[in-house]
Amino acid sequence: MSALREKMIQELKLKRMSDKTIKSYVSYINYLSLYYKKSPDKISREEVKKYLYHLQVNRKLSPNSLNVIHCAIRFFYMNVINAEWVVRDIAKFKRNNSKPLVLSKTEVENILNITWNLKHKAILTLIYSAGLRVTEAAQLKVNQVDTDRMQIYIKDGKGAKDRYALLSPTTLTLLREYIEEYRPVNYLFYSRDRDKMHHFSVRAIQRAFKDALFKAGITKEASVHTLRHSFATHLLEAGVNLHHIQLLLGHYSPQATYIYLHARRMDLMNIKSPLDTYDYNILTNPLQRGSLANGNIAKTDDTGNSGGISSQ
């Protein structure tokens, strides 16, 4: 597959795909080839469908993972060997309608406060305060931090898109303390090498976050990416326009940003449950449960006064 591999890499680079995407796409085609033990250009349409079915039913991959593999296979047949007919009408997998997990402001504060390592504290604070993806933070360079305009220049983000992110004054103070101690040269957060020319690993950031999560006593199934979700949700709760949040996050489509509408706190939207219009004491006092069952409910009016409403 070496010739096809080189051609696929070339085509992916022409599309300005990231190195991570190129590596993933090439691997997925290699797995397809190994599964059938033949060159991918010899694999039929039916075999592609059976392979995807195998991944879904036997391997039990998630719809998101299956769709990435679907895209890789589709790219290969359409752009590398010009065999569009092989993948024509093979539909993507329906995604689960899951909502993003969000941390409260108190939980975020506890995570950052309990992180004592200065490098870890600086990078986790930056991710939350600017809504960065973990790879964006890991690969951030010193010259991408614009202290004059209080912005962070994100180069080649997801989808090879550039954008500007927020630079919080609080984060800047912490970064200056970090820079004073660590003296980064190229990458803002570098790995343990003498020349400081290699960026901090994503895995190391994930470990630092999990450690802080455990120390803070938070049992939610959160990841570093949860900080990004929390950033967007907290902005929305503070009244920031959804379009502005989309630009800060670097979302190509507003649909990707709409998920945070479902994650924001209802109490901050001045929306009350009908239950909260009733006298709370009646619902909690066991001596008065009989009157509740009989339909005698003390309802609070707009002036704050309560009046009995009887079913009789």
Q: Which of 158, 163, 196, 215 is catalytic?
A: 158
Helical spans, DSSP H, in the chain: 2-14, 19-36, 45-57, 63-75, 84-87, 105-114, 118-130, 134-138, 169-182, 202-215, 224-237, 242-249, 255-258, 280-284, 289-293
258 is catalytic: no
Q: Which of 119, 121, 228, 234 is catalytic?
A: 228
95 is catalytic: no
- For residue 60, give Cα distances in angstroms to 37, 53, 73, 180: 22, 9, 18, 48
251 is catalytic: yes
- For residue 109, give Cα distances in angstroms to 121, 145, 167, 262, 290: 11, 23, 18, 22, 44
Q: Which of 70, 119, 120, 133 is catalytic?
A: 133
Burial-class residue 303 by CB neighbours within 10 Å (0-12, 13-18, 19+): exposed
| Neighbouring C-beta atoms of residue 162, cutoff 10 Å | 10
120 is catalytic: no
Q: Which of 119, 121, 229, 251 is catalytic?
A: 251
Q: Which of 141, 163, 196, 225 is catalytic?
A: 225
What are the tokens at 251? 């979302």
Query: For the sheet containing 145-146, what is the strand order?
Result: 145-146, 151-154, 163-166
Sequence-distant contacts of 208-211: CB under 8 A, at least 24 apart: 208/115, 208/117, 208/120, 208/123, 208/124, 209/111, 209/124
What span, in angstroms and rounded, lies between the C-alpha atoms of 16 and 262?
A: 33
225 is catalytic: yes
Q: Are 241 and 249 in contact (CB under 8 A)?
A: no
183 is catalytic: no
Phi, psi of 153 (to 5 degrees): -90, 115
What span, in angstroms and rounded, lies between the C-alpha atoms of 293 and 56?
A: 50
Question: Catalytic residues, which ones?
Answer: 133, 158, 225, 228, 251, 260
